[in-house]
Amino acid sequence: MLAEDADLPLLTHDDPAFAGDRFHEVLDELASRTWLVRSDLGYLVLGREPGMALLKDRRLSFPAVELLELQGLSDGVIYERTTKGLMAQSGPAHARLRRLVSAAFTPRQVERLRPRLRGYLECLWHEIASAGRCEAVTALARPLPSMAIAELLGVPGDDALLARWSGSLQAVFDMDMDARRAEIEAAYEEVREYVLDLVAMRRQQPGEDLLSALVHHEQDGDRLSDDEIVTLSASVISGGTDTTESQLAHGLRLFSEHPDQWKKLGDDPALAEQATQEVLRFEPIVPFTARLVREELGVSGIVFPVGIVLFVCAATANRDPMTYADPGRFDITADRAGAQVLSFGFGTHFCAGAHLARAEITEALAFLAPRMRGLEPDGEPAFGTPTGIYTMRSLPVRFTARDPG
């Protein structure tokens, strides 16, 4: 049966209360009845198995270019960079770029950053410890990721610049192109000049950073062009900042709402890696990953014609009761049997920065939990909307500072 003829529940996103607990209540209730719902944006795939199968299926692709065309853009620097970016590629072109990037962006690159991350956390903590309260997005979650990306690219100290560019580059997803176009274009131009300068320097004098690795890595006679390195750097700057900020902010919010879990982590910071996994599972900050149907396909008796946009839902897949016992409980010591969370996507476009994001969140939780004792809300948190990147706008918290010795 064609999807449009199927009798499916309808979900509308324009309810401002569609965030926080209500977001999960609505989705979990729907997921208990059906794997597919119609929405004002397309179709939402709530089931874990069909979702994973679709993310692996090469008959679908990420609609990066179509998203721009929808906003009336079919040329210019934004269009050009987006069409060349990793997310817009598929098939052999994507596989080639991913191979070259993965060989440069290794777990070793991430391990190199851990001591630096701890140093940054010391500085951020120093600013808030004596007050015993802070707005945790501005004080902690926002600064750390751009510091990490600056270190990754070998430009420590340029974090404020990268944060500004990230904000502008991310605006391509805001569906507000008329208002933001000039700002986004300027950011692309600035990033291009900045990265080309760095590439020229690293070619002369390589360091340990990601840019040096991208410039010097060669595989079977193939290497990334300067232009490809520019595009990739723009993806790292834009894809590696708001995402990790939001995930860390939601994580701190969850712990402020679950004091027993925060105490457990504070008493045993070695649980931080497991705690990060539970944060990622419980509140994936890309709750829906878009895919465009490029060739007609059938799933469980439903036929999706070419051109349909499907949103695979990590928020319900990560709470699938067949995969996780008591999935609605936030529990950092629960045995989740190593089941893969869909928070970084799945399949060919699996997040290229997942190791780095995990390291940042793990280091932050391991550092903060033993020091920031008795973390609790200090007013109402403000949630962003859970389409695109599910941000936290503000998170006022209070705590008792302790020196763990």
**Nearest to ligand HEM of 108, 402 (CB atom):** 108
**Nearest to ligand HEM of 71, 238 (CB atom):** 238
**Nearest to ligand HEM of 352, 392 (CB atom):** 352
User: Residue type for 323, please?
Assistant: T
Q: 402 is written with which tokens?
A: 């302790």
Q: Would you count residue 286 as binding ligand HEM (CB under 6 A)?
A: yes
**Nearest to ligand HEM of 235, 399 (CB atom):** 235
Q: Would you count residue 96 as binding ligand HEM (CB under 6 A)?
A: no
Q: 9 is written with which tokens?
A: 């529940």
Rounded CA gap, 379 and 397, in Å?
7
Hey, CA dihedral for 124, 127, 133, 138, is it positive or negative?
A: negative
Q: Is residue 238 within 8 Å of residue 187, measured between CB atoms?
A: no
Q: Would you count residue 345 as binding ligand HEM (CB under 6 A)?
A: yes
Q: Residues 31-70: x/- map of binding to ligand HEM (CB under 6 A)?
A: ------------------------x------x--------
Residue 108 burial by CB count (10 A; 0-12/13-18/19+): exposed, middle or buried?
exposed
- Can you point out the beta strands (E) in 189-346? 288-293, 297-299, 302-304, 309-313
Q: How many residues bind ligand HEM (CB under 6 A)?
A: 24
Q: Would you count residue 236 as binding ligand HEM (CB under 6 A)?
A: yes
**Nearest to ligand HEM of 288, 399 (CB atom):** 288
Tell me which residues in 351-370 interact with ligand HEM (CB under 6 A).
Answer: 351-353, 356-357
- Part of the chain binding ligand HEM (CB under 6 A), chosen from 11-19, 106-114, 341-349, 367-375: 341-349
Hey, CA dihedral for 252, 253, 259, 260, is it positive or negative?
A: negative
**Nearest to ligand HEM of 86, 117 (CB atom):** 86
H or E stretch including 400? strand 396-401
**Nearest to ligand HEM of 156, 259 (CB atom):** 156
Q: Would you count residue 344 as binding ligand HEM (CB under 6 A)?
A: yes
**Nearest to ligand HEM of 137, 399 (CB atom):** 137
The one among 42, 51, 239, 287 contacting ligand HEM by CB under 6 A: 239
Rounded CA gap, 351 and 353, in Å?
5
- Part of the chain binding ligand HEM (CB under 6 A), chosen from 23-31, 37-45, 164-172, 233-241: 233-241
Q: Is residue 90 left, alpha or beta, with left meaning phi > 0 and alpha meaning psi from -120 to 50?
A: beta
Q: Would you count residue 247 as binding ligand HEM (CB under 6 A)?
A: yes
Looking only at the bridges linking them, the beta strands covering 309-313 and 43-45 are parallel
Q: Is residue 52 within 8 Å of residue 342, measured between CB atoms?
A: yes
Tell me which residues in 147-186 interact with ligand HEM (CB under 6 A).
Answer: none
The one among 30, 45, 87, 372 contacting ligand HEM by CB under 6 A: 87
- State the CB neighbour count (10 A cutoff) for residue 141: 27
Residue 334 burial by CB count (10 A; 0-12/13-18/19+): exposed, middle or buried?
middle
Is 253 in a helix, a strand, or coil? helix
Q: Residues 287-306: x/- map of binding to ligand HEM (CB under 6 A)?
A: --x-----------------
The one among 59, 98, 112, 264 contacting ligand HEM by CB under 6 A: 98
Q: Would you count residue 391 as binding ligand HEM (CB under 6 A)?
A: no
Q: Give the alpha-carbon dihedral of 340, 342, 343, 344, to 10 degrees.
A: 90
- Part of the chain binding ligand HEM (CB under 6 A), chosen from 16-24, 124-132, 175-183, 348-356: 348-356
**Nearest to ligand HEM of 165, 344 (CB atom):** 344
The one among 82, 231, 243, 362 contacting ligand HEM by CB under 6 A: 243
Q: Label residues 389-399 b or e (16+ Cβ within 10 Å = b).
A: bbbbeebbbbb
- Part of the chain binding ligand HEM (CB under 6 A), chosen from 129-137, 201-209, 339-347, 362-370: 339-347
**Nearest to ligand HEM of 244, 261 (CB atom):** 244
DSSP 224-244: --HHHHHHHHHHHHHHTTHHH
Min. distance of Cβ 357 from ligand HEM in angstroms? 3
Q: Would you count residue 343 as binding ligand HEM (CB under 6 A)?
A: yes
Q: Is residue 326 within 8 Å of residue 96, measured between CB atoms?
A: no
- Of 204, 116, 216, 111, give the one whose Cα is nearest residue 157: 116
Rounded CA gap, 223 and 200, in Å?
15
Residues that bind ligand HEM (CB under 6 A): 55, 62, 86-87, 98, 235-236, 239-240, 243-244, 247, 285-286, 289, 343-345, 349, 351-353, 356-357
